Structure 1
Amino acid sequence: MIRYALACEAAHEFEGWFGSSDDFDDQLARGLVACPVCDSKAVAKQIMAPNLAGTKKNTPDLPWPMRSMVMEAMGQVRRHVEENFDYVGDAFAGEARAIHEGRSEDRGIYGEATPAEVKALIKDGVRIAPLPPAAPKKSEVN
C-alpha cells in the first residue's frame, strides 16, 4: 500500500491509500478520487518525505489518554472477533477464498495466514483485515 498526501484545487489537504502508483493514476483518471471536504475531483499529489526505517522514531507520540483509548478500542475489536467469528487456524487463506468464491458458508472467520497468502488474497479481491494484537498479559508487563 502507498499513502499519498493529496490536495484539491481549493487547497483542502487529505491523504489517500492506494495499492500502487498505477492504482492512484487509474482512479484519478476515472474520477474516483475526490476531496472529502468539497468533493472536487481536481486532486493532486503533494510533496511528501519518504517514511524510511532508521534510527529516528517513526510513530507519533500520542498523549496517554488517547493511546489508552486506542488500545481499548483495539482490544474491543479483538474480543468481538474472538467471541463471534469462527477460528479456522492456518486454514484461514483457503477458507477465506472459499467464502469469497461462494464455495463455503458466508460467515466471519479469523486465523493465521502467511504473508504470501495474504498478498494473494488481497490481489484477488478477497476482503480481509489484520486482527489487532492481543493485549500483553499482566504478568508479562513491568
Structure 2
Amino acid sequence: MIVFDLICRAGGHEFEGWFGSSDDFEHQQAAGLVDCPVCGSSSVYKAVMAPNVGIKSNQRTSSRPASSKQAEHLHPAEGGQAMTKAVPIPPEYQELVDKLAKAQAKILEQSQWVGGDFPEQARAIHYGEKKAAPIHGTATVDEVAELEDEGIDVMPLPLPVTPPKAQN
C-alpha cells in the first residue's frame, strides 16, 4: 500500500488516501471514486511528497533504533513504501487513528480472510450457496461495482490490511 497526501481543488482541504499503487490512484481518480472527505468534491489531486528515506542499516547506531511506528506503516509484502511530508500529526488525530486501528482489528478477528476470492465468496453468501459469515479480502474497483449492481453490500476497510500469509 502507498499513502498519498491529497488536496481538494474546490476547498483546498488536505487529506490522506491509501492506494495499492500510483496507477490504482489514477484509475480511481479517473472513475470519480476519490472524493474530498470534507466537502465531497471529486476534484482531487496529489500533493507534492518526498519519500521517507531512513539512514542505511549499516549506519544506524544502537542509540537510534528504527521506530516501531515507522515499521508498522511499511508493507513490503505488498511493495509499499512509507511516505510523509514530515508534518507532525496532532495528538488527538493520532489517538483517533489508533482507536480506529484497534476497532478494525477487533472486527477482523471475527472475520475470515478470503483474499482475491472476495467477490466470489460474497456472491456465494448473498445467493445462499454458502453459510452467511463475515469475510474480508481484496477486490478491484470494477468487481466492487459489479457486486453493488447485484445488490450485494460491501464496504472498504478504513485502514490497509496485510494478508495473513504476509504477516510475520
**TM-score normalised per structure 1:** 0.49
- The structure with the larger Rg is 1
Q: Which has the higher contact order (CA 8 A, sep 6+)?
A: 2
